[in-house]
Structure 1
Amino acid sequence: MKAIVYDEPGKFELRDVPIPVPGAHDVLIRVLVAGVCGTDLHLHHGEFGPTYPLIPGHEIAGEVVELGSAVNSLRVGDRVTFDNTAACGHCTECRRARPAFCEFILAQGVNAPGGFAEFVLASANRCFVVNDLDPEVAVFAEPTACVVHGLDVLALQPGSRVLMFGAGPTGLVLAQLLARSGAGSLTVAAPTQAKLDIAQERGADQTVLVDRANPHATSARLRDLAGPGFDVVIDASGSLSALEQAIPLTRVGGTVFVYGMAAEAAQWAVPPYDIFRRELTIKGSFAQQFSFDRALTALRGGRVRTEGMITHRFTLEEYAEALEAVADSSCIKAVITP
C-alpha cells in the first residue's frame, strides 16, 4: 500500500509499505478520508512526541475490509471512525481516569501507524460504526471528541460571557457547542472573515476581525466589548499574541482556557500578581477522553454542522500541499483522500 512515512522531523516520502495484517481483535480499514490538522504540522517539525518511522494521520474515517479472528462486533463493509489512542489501563494516570496521560499510551498517527495511508489497523473495540454518516462528516469525530473533552474540563457556568480567539476547524466546532452549552454570549475573534461568517452563522453572537497589521486596533475593539471583562477567554488558535491579550480581557474570578496548541518551545508571560489579586483560573485541555460517543451524537443530531468546513482536498501524493494549506489561514479544513 502507499503511505506517508517520516524517518525524522521535516522529512517524509510516499512509500510502498506492506498492508498490515489484523490481529485477532483488530480490523483492517481502507481509509476513505483522513483529516489534516495543526497537530500534524507540529509532528512535521518533530513536536508532540513522534516515534519514527511514523505514518501520521489521527482523524480517520474508513471502511472495514478485513476482520480479526475474534471480532464479531463489526462487519466487512461497515464504515467506521475510531479512537486513535489506546491506554494501558493500569498506570498511575489510567487509574485516575486520565487515559490521555497514560505512561504507555499508543497514539496512532503519533507513535504508531496512522491514517495517511491506503489502509490502517485499529482495534475493533475502539471503532464506532458510522454507516449513517458521510465520511466527510465522520472524519470530524476525533476533533469533535477533543472539543467535548475540552468542555468537560472548562465546566462552563450557564450565562457566561465568552470570548474565543481562533476560528479554525476545532474553533468552529467549539463555537457551536459553546453556543449550545450555556454560554450567555459568545464573541469569536479571528483574522479570516470567511471563518468568522461561519462562526456567526452557527452560534456566535458577534465576531471581531483580527487585524494583524494593526493589532492595537483589534485590542481596542475587544476592550470595548469586554466591559468589566469576559467570564471566559479561550485561545483556540495556539497564538501567543492571543494569549497575551487573554488575561487583561478576563473579569475578576474569570477563567483563561488554553485550548489551542502553541509550539512546544513557546513561552507565555503570566503575571502572577494579577492571577492572585483577581482570583483568575487558568485551565488547559489535551486531546480527548471518554468523549467519542458524545461527539458522534453531536454530529448526528446537527449540534455540530460541518458542511462547508472542508475547503481543501488532497491525495497522498499531494501531502506537502496539504501541510501548506493547513498553515494558511484561508484554509478551514484540509483532508487526505487516499
Structure 2
Amino acid sequence: MKAVVYDQPRSFTVTEVPDPHAGPGEVRLRVVLAGVCGTDAHLHDGQFDPVYPLTPGHEIVGEVDEVGDGVTGLRAGQRVVLDNMQSCGVCTSCRRARPAFCRVLVAQGVNAPGGFAEYIVAPAGKCHPADDLAPEAAVLTEPTACVMHGLDVLELPPGSDVVVFGAGPTGLLLAQLLRHAGANRVTVAAPTAAKLELAARHGADETVRVDRERPDASVARLRELAPEGFDAVVDATGAVGVLELCVPLARDGGTVFVYGMTDENDRLTVSPYEVFRRELVIKGSFSQAYSFDRALQAIRTGRVATDGIVTHTFALDDYADALAALRDRECVKAVVRPGGAAAT
C-alpha cells in the first residue's frame, strides 16, 4: 500500500509499504478521509514526541476492509470513525481518569501508524460506526471530541460571556459547543472575513475582525463588547501574540483557556501579581478523554454543524500541499483522500 512515511523531522516520502493485516480483536480500515490538523504541522517539525518511522494522521474515517478473529460488532464494508488513543487503564494517570497521560499511551498518527495511508489496522473497540454521516462530517469527530474534553476542563458557568480567538476548525467547533454549554454570548475574533462569516452562520453571537498589523484596534472593539472583561477568554490559535491579548481581556475572576497548540519553545510572560490580585484562572486542554461518543452524537444531532468546514481535499501524493494548506487563510479544514481524489 501507499503511505506517508517520515524518517526524521521535515523528511517524508509518499512510498510503498507492506499491507497491514488485522490481528485478533482488530480490523483493517481502508482510509476514506484523514483530516489534516495543526498537530501534523508540529509533528512535521519533530515536535509532540513522534516515533519514527512515522505515518501521521489521527483524524480518520475508514471503511472496514478486513475483520480479525473475535470481532463481532463490525462488518466488512461498514464506515467508521477511529478513536486513535489507546491507554492501558491501570497506570497512575489512567487510574486518575487522565488517559491522555497514560504512561504507555498508543496514539495512532503520533507514535503508531496513522491515517495518511491507504490502510490502517486498529482495535475494533476503538471504531465507531458512522454509516449515517457523510465522510466530510464524520472526519470532524476527533477534533470535536477534543473540544468536548476541553469544555469538560473549562467547566464554564452558565450565563458566561466568552470570546474565542481563532476561526479555524477548532475555533468554529468551540464556538458552537460553548453555546450549548451555557454561554450567554460567544464572540469569535479572527483575521479572515470568510471564516468569521462561517462562524456567524454557525451561531456566533458576535464576530470581530482581528487586524494582524493593528491588534490594538481589535482589542478596543472587544473591550466595547465587554467593558469589564469576558468570563472566559479562549485561545484556539496557538499564537503567542494572541495569547498575550488574553489575560487583559479576562474579567476579574475570569478564566484564560489555552486550547491552541503553540510551538514547544514558545514562552508567554504573565504577571503573577495580576493572576493573584484579580483571582484569574489559567487552564489548558490536551487531546480528548471519554468524549468520542459524545462528539459523534453532537454531529449526528446537528448540535455541531459541519457544513463549510472542510474546504480543501488532497490526494495522498499531494501531502506536502495538504500541509501547506494549513497556512492558507482561505483554508478552513484540509483533508487527505488516500484513494487518490484530485485536489480541490
TM-score, normalised on structure 1? Answer: 0.99
Determine if the alignment matches structure 1 residue 312 to structure 2 residue 319: no
Counting only pairs closer than 5 Å after superposition, residues 248-327 of structure 1 correspond to structure 2 as 248-327=248-327
Q: Residue 171 of structure 1 corresponds to which residue in structure 2?
A: 171
Determine if the alignment matches structure 1 residue 8 to structure 2 residue 4: no
RMSD: 0.7
- Which runs of no fewer than 5 residues in structure 2 stay unpaired? 339-344
Q: Residue 213 of structure 1 corresponds to which residue in structure 2?
A: 213
Distance 1:325 1:84 in 2: 23
1:241 deviates by 1.3
Q: Give aligned-pair identity as a percent.
A: 61
Q: Residue 24 of structure 1 corresponds to which residue in structure 2?
A: 24
Secondary structure of residue in 2 paired with 1:186? strand
Secondary structure of residue in 2 paired with 1:128? strand
Q: Residue 52 of structure 1 corresponds to which residue in structure 2?
A: 52
Q: Residue 342 of structure 2 corresponds to which residue in structure 1?
A: none
1:179 deviates by 1.4
Q: Residue 78 of structure 1 corresponds to which residue in structure 2?
A: 78
How many residue pairs are counted as aligned between the two chains?
A: 338
1:213 deviates by 1.8
Distance 2:89 2:237 in 1: 32
Secondary structure of residue in 2 paired with 1:223? helix
Output the amino acid matched with 2:46. Answer: G
1:216 deviates by 2.0
Output the amino acid matched with 2:29. Answer: I
Secondary structure of residue in 2 paired with 1:93? helix
Farther-moved stretch of structure 1 (216-225 vs 92-101): 216-225
Distance 1:312 1:109 in 2: 20
Distance 1:328 1:285 in 2: 25
Distance 1:145 1:75 in 2: 24
Output the amino acid matched with 2:14. Answer: L
Output the amino acid matched with 1:170. Answer: T
Secondary structure of residue in 1 paired with 2:64? strand
Q: Residue 100 of structure 1 corresponds to which residue in structure 2?
A: 100
Secondary structure of residue in 1 paired with 2:269? coil
1:224 deviates by 2.2
Distance 1:214 1:238 in 2: 19
TM-score, normalised on structure 2? Answer: 0.97
**Stretches of 4+ aligned residues off by more than 4 angstroms:** none
Distance 2:105 2:336 in 1: 25
1:218 deviates by 1.6
Secondary structure of residue in 1 paired with 2:324? helix
Q: Residue 228 of structure 2 corresponds to which residue in structure 1?
A: 228
1:225 deviates by 2.1
Q: Residue 116 of structure 1 corresponds to which residue in structure 2?
A: 116
1:136 deviates by 1.1
Secondary structure of residue in 1 paired with 2:92? coil
Distance 2:175 2:324 in 1: 25
- Post-superposition CA distance 1:161-196 (Å, at most 9, x none): 001100100110111111121101111100111111
Output the amino acid matched with 1:157. Answer: P
Distance 1:221 1:163 in 2: 12
Farther-moved stretch of structure 1 (261-270 vs 173-182): 173-182
1:27 deviates by 0.2
Distance 2:113 2:247 in 1: 39
- Post-superposition CA distance 1:33-74 (Å, at most 9, x none): 000010000000001110000000000001001000111111
Distance 1:221 1:69 in 2: 60
1:223 deviates by 2.2
